Structure formats: structure tokens, C-alpha cells
Amino acid sequence: MADRNTIILQGFSMALQCEAEAHEDLYPGMLLEERSDGKFQKHDDEGGIAERLIAYEDELQGKTVDEKYDSGERVLAARLVPGTKAKLLIKAEEEIAAGDKLISAGDGTFIEDTSAGTGVTVDQVIAVATEACDLSGTNDVNTLCAARIL
């Protein structure tokens, strides 16, 4: 399932689709938040409360899940409901197993809840990984991994 070239794998019809201008460079699979000026930015609170707003690929422009949105571009995103299966952008150096709980890494990516920094309070688990994703190698980069939204 994770090989499909789309972010939302199951449950797209139940997602609330929206779009806004990117405040900064953003990638499909990132956790976003809406600023007071209506622009989207990376969710910036590690382990913090988030509204499950995920950027997805702009297939109408021929873009894939690997192509970023530049600052100032219109970003397609969806507010995902519990049970939706999607590919989420996992932070480099994480080692995720199926069943691991995922939280915001505070930079738009996701980390396992046990990877939260010292002194960080985990306020919200956003998803559960549905596949393993080992990025613990020294040259690994942020990578999309299938998960189920909670």
C-alpha cells in the first residue's frame, strides 16, 4: 500500500480538503498548521496539539508526493478524520515499527512518541504507523511512511 504515489491511501472522501498559500517550503505528508494570516506552515510544537492537517500532492499540476511546495505557492491539504490511512513524513534517523504511536516532531515531520525530547510533554498522538520505516542510518532523509490517523 505504501508504494502508491499518493498521500491519502484510504478515506479521502471523508477528509475536509482545503488550500492556502505556503508560508515556507512544505512537502506532501507534512503536518501543517494555519497561521493567523491564513497561510500554512509546518506544525511547530513537538508533541503538541494539532488538527491533523496534512499536505498532499498537487496531482492536478502533475506533481508527485516527492515534489515540494515552494513558499508562496498554493498548498493542497486535508483535515483528516480518525481512521484515515495516509503516508506521513517521518523525520530522518527515526526507527518506526508498525504499531508505533506518532507525534509531531515540531518541524512538520513525525516521530515516535518515545523519541520526544527531554522535557517535552506529549499532548497528542496523531497516528499509528501501519508499516515499519527504519531511518536510523546516518545518510537517511525524511521519508513517507503509511499510518492510520487517530
Q: For 66-99, how does the pLDDT look when each residue is reduced to its tens digit (9 = 90+)?
A: 999 999 999 999 999 999 999 999 999 999 999 9
The answer, yes or no, to whether residue 138 has pLDDT greater than 50, is yes
Q: Where are the domains of the chain?
A: 8-149
If you average pLDDT over residues 8-14, what whole number do you get?
87
Q: Contact at 8 Å (CB) between 31 and 54?
A: yes
| CATH class of the domain comprising 8-149 | mainly beta
Q: Rounded distance, CA 3 to CA 105, Å? A: 24
20: Cα separation from own chain's centroid: 16
Whole-angstrom Cα distance, residue 58 to residue 28? 9
